[in-house]
């Protein structure tokens, strides 16, 4: 291999060199290894150069990096160690940039690029080794890429070497996934870092806490400062607050993913002689890159992670606490070149409560791209691939449902012709579907440019109006914008059967092909919208789109029903009906009018949760009316039903048996009855159209219908509605509390020597004994005990108050009565 470096001796004396013999042995005697090395050990740049000299390495080495910035930095560093330019022995390949040549032996690629390499060339021809760097970040692309690489190695390429590398990693778990791959640890030689804690008050904005920490550290300590903030917005606000607060020899430099390559390079380059830097960064600066001159790290302790909601198909960004591993990574940045200091903006005691590692992206991501790639790979059961964490079954099912809706999968979850085209485009599934449909309509270039714009944050400005953003993007002269347009145009040229359409493309109509579930109609006033997936969304009233009748929403944020729109385009309702004709439903339906508490009927044109058109119809009858009425009960709650005395007591009796005996006596709580309205309410209210004129007897019949047939006859025995006193009088038993209660005049129980009970004699009644005037005397759960005990005192008191009523000395042997004593007795 004449292009390989002849020796590793000129390479820097970094800690990773101490474990070179172990790495060489592991990959010479086997084909898998796991390497854990702290930041600054040199694993990213020295290990690929080492492996290039091995006799088994006749092809290329692929080094995976989680981010473009890290990939460029790693390639640049390796090339400089070889005294070459990037694109010679060492090159990189990523979405908008490609620096490789026929001489390239080490390719640094972003993780998504590698997955496509495997899917397009399953044998990975001319590739000798694949190195997964910073695997602890657990991106979806890295997890899938490793699963694919292991599958290729087992089935097609036993000679392929695979090594997983990370600064902080649960290497035992990774080794187990790789069937006991050797574990190699490099301890590193980092400089000492002093860790300090400055607790941020709960009501203090993170930017304000950072501002104070930066000013103090800048005043008291030498060296440049690296600040970790959760996202771009916090970085820009912090930069604004710092403006003019530091001396003129200090540069304030942002570092986040949306910046151009030149702006990112400015952040990681050493400051000019005599200058200091304050770098305001997201998690992008945690790993893989070294920011020269930094000896102070200020850590907000926060990060922003994408969280996918399968029920709505929406990915929202959520600000969370960092993991312990990430906090250690961040602190380690202060000791890369000299002793440093890390200032953590939280209480020291909170560190132990942080999660050990960052959550795997596969557990909370949109899996539509993964499902599409798995279908291309011929895998229908995810468990057949070696994932560190298996994709959640509900999220994978939702992803396949989306792909079927987009036309990418058939009913057997196999790729369709459109699905194969979608997979060939390096775009998310929704946007790939839009590009293909746009091309079919003669707007392929516009659709592809829109798709690329939506995957490259920051291009085209920050307007929520995608019409405006696309116009701005097509005018931009920056290198990044030009590269993005070239990529979009390549996509467009790769699509078949492109036809010319003289009519200008409508951005909203194009977006319908990607987001049919996010068509939205104005509901509830200016700036308030209801999407077809049932979720609400709001736009600031000053925005032009706030007055639109219909939108297609591409991005939004927030948990609540009124999420904030981040990107959308206006769409003509007529276009919605024509583009989505196959999923628009036209039907006659009964519905409940909450204002009038009545059932009405209408003819509707419906797209999911939104009604596009409606016209009134005659009031429904029969079961349809009862079903609409049941919807009203669901909306207003069970308290709107006037059960009446009989049905209320019946419900209480059944509920008592459910609480005390259990199955098969049914639950008749509010929640349980609301969940079963179609069983006990609808069949017994046929034709009723108004909540105020219900069939009350039907409520009782409905409740009885919930009882299994074999126990209906037992209800009277187990929970009788009344107690028949020795006098022959019937008295209602109350079941509305924790135990059954009977209120009765004490004279009616004379002669009774056994305490009354229900539930087959197992549960005694709570007796509320009253005077002849129905005033409370005593409560008891033991009538014989009452007769032989406190009756004597009760009798003495009652005889004086009610002399005309009998008060025998031995009530257990007396005759029961509900009358006064005969005259003269």
Per-residue pLDDT at 8 exceeds 50: no
Q: What pLDDT digit, counting tens, does each position of 244-253 carry? A: 888 888 989 9
Tell me, letter by letter, the H, E, C secondary structure of 201-240. CCCCCHHHHHHHHHHHHHHHCCCEEEEECCCHHHHHHHHH
Closest CA to 682 of 735, 626, 643: 626
- pLDDT confidence bin for 9, thresholds 50/70/90: very low
Q: What pLDDT digit, counting tens, does each position of 764-781 carry? A: 999 999 998 889 999 999
- pLDDT confidence bin for 559, thresholds 50/70/90: low
CA torsion 732-733-734-737 (nearest 10°) is 170
Three-state secondary structure call for residue 694? coil
Q: Peptide bond preceding 178: is omega within 30 degrees of 0, i.e. cis?
A: no
Three-state secondary structure call for residue 761? coil
Per-residue pLDDT at 159 exceeds 60: yes
Q: Average pLDDT, stretch 213-237? A: 91
Q: Average pLDDT, stretch 702-728? A: 90
Q: Average pLDDT, stretch 137-151? A: 93
Per-residue pLDDT at 197 exceeds 90: yes
The tokens for 248 are 């003129």
Q: Give the rounded percent of residues in the chain with a pLDDT score beyond 90.
A: 51
Task: Give the model's pLDDT for residue 13.
Answer: 81
Alpha-carbon distance values, 15 to 37, 49, 130, 185, 188 (Å): 9, 15, 22, 11, 5
Closest CA to 576 of 552, 593, 557: 552
Pairwise CA distance, residues 569 & 576, whole Å: 12
Pairwise CA distance, residues 163 & 560, whole Å: 43
Pairwise CA distance, residues 677 & 772, whole Å: 44
Which has the minimum average pLDDT: 135-144, 551-560, 630-639? 551-560
Pairwise CA distance, residues 191 & 170, whole Å: 23
Query: Which residue has tokens 């590698």?
Result: 114
Closest CA to 449 of 423, 415, 486: 486
Residue pair 351/372 in contact by the 8 Å Cβ criterion: no
Report CA 464 to chain centroid distance, whole Å: 23
Tell which phi-psi region holds residue 751, choosing left (phi > 0), alpha (psi between -120 and 50) or beta.
left
The tokens for 426 are 């390096």
Task: Give the model's pLDDT for residue 2.
Answer: 46
Higher per-residue pLDDT: 5 or 56: 56
Pairwise CA distance, residues 652 & 687, whole Å: 27
Per the CATH hierarchy, to which homologous superfamily does domain 193-362 belong?
P-loop containing nucleotide triphosphate hydrolases (3.40.50.300)
- Please tell me if the domain spanning 15-185 has the same topology as the one spanning 193-362: yes
Q: Average pLDDT, stretch 100-115? A: 92
Per-residue pLDDT at 5 exceeds 60: no
Query: Which residue has tokens 């509830």?
Result: 524
Percent helix, strand, coil in the chain (nearest 5)? 40, 20, 40
Query: Which residue has tokens 């960092």?
Result: 322
The tokens for 672 are 């349980």
Angle at 388 between CA 383 and CA 393, to 5 degrees: 45
- pLDDT confidence bin for 558, thresholds 50/70/90: confident
- How many Cβ atoms sit within 10 Å of the Cβ of residue 108? 34
Pairwise CA distance, residues 111 & 134, whole Å: 11
Q: Give pTM, 2 decimals.
A: 0.72
- How many Cβ atoms sit within 10 Å of the Cβ of residue 290? 17
Per-residue pLDDT at 824 exceeds 60: no
Residue pair 801/807 in contact by the 8 Å Cβ criterion: no
CB-count exposure of residue 494 (10 Å: 0-12, 13-18, 19+): middle
Per-residue pLDDT at 3 exceeds 70: no
Task: Give the model's pLDDT for residue 822.
Answer: 57
Closest CA to 334 of 234, 242, 222: 222
Per-residue pLDDT at 739 exceeds 80: yes
Task: Give the model's pLDDT for residue 446.
Answer: 93
Q: Peptide bond preceding 147: is omega within 30 degrees of 0, i.e. cis?
A: no
Residue pair 567/554 in contact by the 8 Å Cβ criterion: yes
Please count the residues of the chain: 825
Task: Give the model's pLDDT for residue 212.
Answer: 93
State the helix-helix crossing angle for 140-155 and 111-120, rounded to 10 degrees: 30
The tokens for 329 are 């990574």
Choices 3.40.250.10, 3.30.565.10, 3.40.50.300, 3.30.750.24: CATH for 15-185? 3.40.50.300
- pLDDT confidence bin for 161, thresholds 50/70/90: very high
Per-residue pLDDT at 825 exceeds 60: no
Q: What residues form DSSP beta bridges with 309?
A: 314
Per-residue pLDDT at 182 exceeds 90: yes
Task: Give the model's pLDDT for residue 1.
Answer: 43
What is the edge-to-edge ordering of all strands in the sheet holding 776-780? 722-724, 730-734, 741-745, 766-770, 776-780
Alpha-carbon distance values, 452 to 432, 483, 492, 602, 635 (Å): 10, 10, 11, 43, 43
Beta strands in 313-403 (DSSP E): 314-321, 340-344
The tokens for 604 are 């509707």
| DSSP class per residue in 81-128 | HTT--TTSSEEEE-SS-EE--TT--EEEEEHHHHHHHHHH-TT-TTEE
CB-count exposure of residue 192 (10 Å: 0-12, 13-18, 19+): exposed
Three-state secondary structure call for residue 522? strand
- Taking all residues of the chain, what is their mean pLDDT, rounded to a whole number? 88
Q: Average pLDDT, stretch 570-591? A: 90
Tell which phi-psi region holds residue 105, choosing left (phi > 0), alpha (psi between -120 and 50) or beta.
alpha
Beta strands in 461-597 (DSSP E): 519-522, 528-531, 536-538, 550-557, 562-570, 585-593
The tokens for 99 are 């620096």
Q: Give the rounded percent of residues in the chain with a pLDDT score beyond 70.
A: 95
Three-state secondary structure call for residue 648? helix
Residue pair 404/428 in contact by the 8 Å Cβ criterion: no
Task: Give the model's pLDDT for residue 307.
Answer: 77
Q: What pLDDT digit, counting tens, does each position of 488-511 carry? A: 999 998 887 666 676 888 999 999
Helix (H) or strand (E) holding 184: strand 183-185
Angle at 525 between CA 522 and CA 526, to 5 degrees: 80
Task: Give the model's pLDDT for residue 561.
Answer: 61
Q: What is the CA radius of gyration of the chain?
A: 37
Task: Give the model's pLDDT for residue 318.
Answer: 79
Residue pair 187/36 in contact by the 8 Å Cβ criterion: no
Pairwise CA distance, residues 323 & 558, whole Å: 23
Q: Average pLDDT, stretch 744-754? A: 92
Per-residue pLDDT at 484 exceeds 60: yes
Helix (H) or strand (E) holding 313: none
Pairwise CA distance, residues 298 & 225, whole Å: 7
Task: Give the model's pLDDT for residue 6.
Answer: 47
Q: Using the 8-state DSSP alphabet, how is residue 607 labeled?
A: E
Q: Average pLDDT, stretch 522-551? A: 91
Task: Give the model's pLDDT for residue 560.
Answer: 58
Tell which phi-psi region holds residue 293, choosing left (phi > 0), alpha (psi between -120 and 50) or beta.
left
Beta strands in 642-759 (DSSP E): 722-724, 730-734, 741-745, 757-758
Q: Can you give the residue ranges of every domain in the chain? A: 15-185, 193-362, 425-583, 587-719, 722-813
- How many Cβ atoms sit within 10 Å of the Cβ of residue 752? 16
Please, how many CA atoms are within 13 Å of residue 785, restricted to the half-sphere of its CB?
8
CB-count exposure of residue 787 (10 Å: 0-12, 13-18, 19+): buried
Pairwise CA distance, residues 278 & 261, whole Å: 19
Please state whether beta strands 224-228 and 276-281 pair in parallel, antiparallel, or not at all (unpaired).
parallel
């Amino acid at each position: 291999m004449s292009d390989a470096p002849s020796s590793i001796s000129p390479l820097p004396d970094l800690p990773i060199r101490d474990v070179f013999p172990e790495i060489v042995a592991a990959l010479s005697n086997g084909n898998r290894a796991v390497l854990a090395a702290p930041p600054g050990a040199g694993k990213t740049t020295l290990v690929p150069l080492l492996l290039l000299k091995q006799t088994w390495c006749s092809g290329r080495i692929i080094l995976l990096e989680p981010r473009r910035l890290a990939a460029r930095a790693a390639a640049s560093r390796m090339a400089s160690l070889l005294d070459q330019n990037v694109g010679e022995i060492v090159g990189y390949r990523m979405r908008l940039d490609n620096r490789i040549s026929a001489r390239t032996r080490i390719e640094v690629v972003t993780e998504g690029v590698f997955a496509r390499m495997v899917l397009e060339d399953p044998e990975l021809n001319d590739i000798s080794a694949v190195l997964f760097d910073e695997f602890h970040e657990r991106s979806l692309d890295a997890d899938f890429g490793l699963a694919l690489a292991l599958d290729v190695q087992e089935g097609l390429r036993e000679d392929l070497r695979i090594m997983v590398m990370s600064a902080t990693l649960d290497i035992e778990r990774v080794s187990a996934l790789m069937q006991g791959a050797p574990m190699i640890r490099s301890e590193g030689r980092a400089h000492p870092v002093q860790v300090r804690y400055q607790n941020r008050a709960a009501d203090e904005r993170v930017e304000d806490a950072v501002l104070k920490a930066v000013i103090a550290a800048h005043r008291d300590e030498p060296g440049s400062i690296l600040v970790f903030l959760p996202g771009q917005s916090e970085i820009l606000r912090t930069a604004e607050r710092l403006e003019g607060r530091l001396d003129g020899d200090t540069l304030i430099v942002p570092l986040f993913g949306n910046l151009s390559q030149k702006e990112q390079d400015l952040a990681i380059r050493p400051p000019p002689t005599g200058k200091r830097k304050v770098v305001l960064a997201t998690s992008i600066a945690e790993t893989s890159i070294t920011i020269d001159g930094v000896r102070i790290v200020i850590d907000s302790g926060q990060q922003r992670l994408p969280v996918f909601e399968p029920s709505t198909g929406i990915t929202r960004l959520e600000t969370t606490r960092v993991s312990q591993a990430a906090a250690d990574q961040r602190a380690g940045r202060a000791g890369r070149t000299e002793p440093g200091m890390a200032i953590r903006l939280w209480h020291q005691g909170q560190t132990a409560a942080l999660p050990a590692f960052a959550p795997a992206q596969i557990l909370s991501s949109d899996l539509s791209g993964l499902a599409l790639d798995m279908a291309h790979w011929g895998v229908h059961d995810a468990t057949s691939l070696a994932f560190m964490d298996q994709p959640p079954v509900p999220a994978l099912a939702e992803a396949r449902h989306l792909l079927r809706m987009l036309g990418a999968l058939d009913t057997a979850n196999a790729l369709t012709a459109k699905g194969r085209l979608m997979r060939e485009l390096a775009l998310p599934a929704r946007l790939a579907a839009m590009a293909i449909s746009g091309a079919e309509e003669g707007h392929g270039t516009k659709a592809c440019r829109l798709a690329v714009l939506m995957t490259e944050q920051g291009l085209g400005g920050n307007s929520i109006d995608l019409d405006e953003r696309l116009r701005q993007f097509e005018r931009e002269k920056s290198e990044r914008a030009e590269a993005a347009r070239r990529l979009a145009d390549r996509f467009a040229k790769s699509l078949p059967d492109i036809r010319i359409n003289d009519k200008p493309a409508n951005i909203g109509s194009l977006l319908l092909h990607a987001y049919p579930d996010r068509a939205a109609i104005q509901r509830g006033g200016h700036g308030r919208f209801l999407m077809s997936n049932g979720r609400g969304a709001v736009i600031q009233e000053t925005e032009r789109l706030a007055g639109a009748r219909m939108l297609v929403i591409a991005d939004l944020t927030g948990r609540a029903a009124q999420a904030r729109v981040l990107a959308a385009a206006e769409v003509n309702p007529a276009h919605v009906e024509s583009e989505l004709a196959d999923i628009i439903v036209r039907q006659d339906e009964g519905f409940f009018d909450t204002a009038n508490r009545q059932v009405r009927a209408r003819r509707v044109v419906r797209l999911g949760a939104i009604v596009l058109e409606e016209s009134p119809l005659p009031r429904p009858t029969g079961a349809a009316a009862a079903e609409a009425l049941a919807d009203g009960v669901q909306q207003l709650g069970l308290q709107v039903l006037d059960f009446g005395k009989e049905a209320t007591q019946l419900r209480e009796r059944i509920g008592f048996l459910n609480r005390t005996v259990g199955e098969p006596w049914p639950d008749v709580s509010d929640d349980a009855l609301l969940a079963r309205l179609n069983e006990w309410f609808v069949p017994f209210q046929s034709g009723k159209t108004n909540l105020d004129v219900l069939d009350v007897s039907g409520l009782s019949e409905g409740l009885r219908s919930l009882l299994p047939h074999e126990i209906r006859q037992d209800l009277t025995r187990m929970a009788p509605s009344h107690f028949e006193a020795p006098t022959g009088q019937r008295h209602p038993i109350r079941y509305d509390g924790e135990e059954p209660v009977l209120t009765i005049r004490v004279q009616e129980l004379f002669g009774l020597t056994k305490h009354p009970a229900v539930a087959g004699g197992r549960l005694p009644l709570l007796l509320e004994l009253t005077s002849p005037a129905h005033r409370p005397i005593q409560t008891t759960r033991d009538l014989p005990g009452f007769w032989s005990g406190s009756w004597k005192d009760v009798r003495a008191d009652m005889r004086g108050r009610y002399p005309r009523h009998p008060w025998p000395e031995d009530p257990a042997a007396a005759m029961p009565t509900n009358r006064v004593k005969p005259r003269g007795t």
